[in-house]
Structure 1
Amino acid sequence: MRAYLKDEILVIDKEDLPPYKKGGSIVRNGYFWALKSIACYTRKECNWEFDQPVWVALSRMLLSFSESGYLGYSETILEFPLDTPIPDTLRSVSTWL
C-alpha cells in the first residue's frame, strides 16, 4: 500500500485501500473494518489517515493479516517514497517504492 507522511500523520493512498464488498470475503471485509476502526480520517474516495498513537496497533494488525496467508504481501505492506525515512514503529511492515 503506497503511503507517505504528512505532518506526523501516516497517509495511505486511496487506490491501495482494501475495498469493502457486501457478501465478499470475510477476511478482506474484516481487514477493511479493522483498518477503518483505527484510522483518524476515512472518507469514501479519499486517502485514509492514521495518527501516531495508533501506529503500533497498525503495525501489529498488518503483521497479523500478512501472516494469516489470506492476503497478499502488497496488501499488507506500507510502501514509502525513497526519500522518506520510515518511522521505527512502522519499519517491520514497511519498505520503499
Structure 2
Amino acid sequence: MAQVLVIVRVLPEDVETPLDELRKRIAGALPEGYELKMWDEEPIAFGLKALRLAIIMPEQTEGGTETLENLISQVQGVSQVEVEYVNRLS
C-alpha cells in the first residue's frame, strides 16, 4: 500500500504550552499506520511558536487528511491544525 507524506502546522493553545510535550502527545495519538517522521518549531509572533510535523500516513485513508487533522485537533493543548503539504511517496 502506498503512503503519503503530510506536513502539518500545529498551533498550541497558548505561549506556555511546551511544544515537546505537545509533540509527544500528538505522536502518541496517531493510530497504527501513521508515523511522525520529523518535526521542528516555527516562530510565529510574540513568543508563540508552531510545530511543523512530517507525518507518514496510508494513502487509501477515507477522508484523506481530514482524519489526521481531526485526530490532531483533539489532542490536549492544540489550538489549530493546518495541512501545508501533501505528497505521495513511491
TM-score with structure 2 setting the length: 0.37
Relative contact order (alpha carbons < 8 A, sep ≥ 6): 1 or 2 greater?
2
Bigger proportion of residues as strand: 2
Larger helix percent: 1
TM-score of the two chains, using structure 1 as the length reference? 0.35
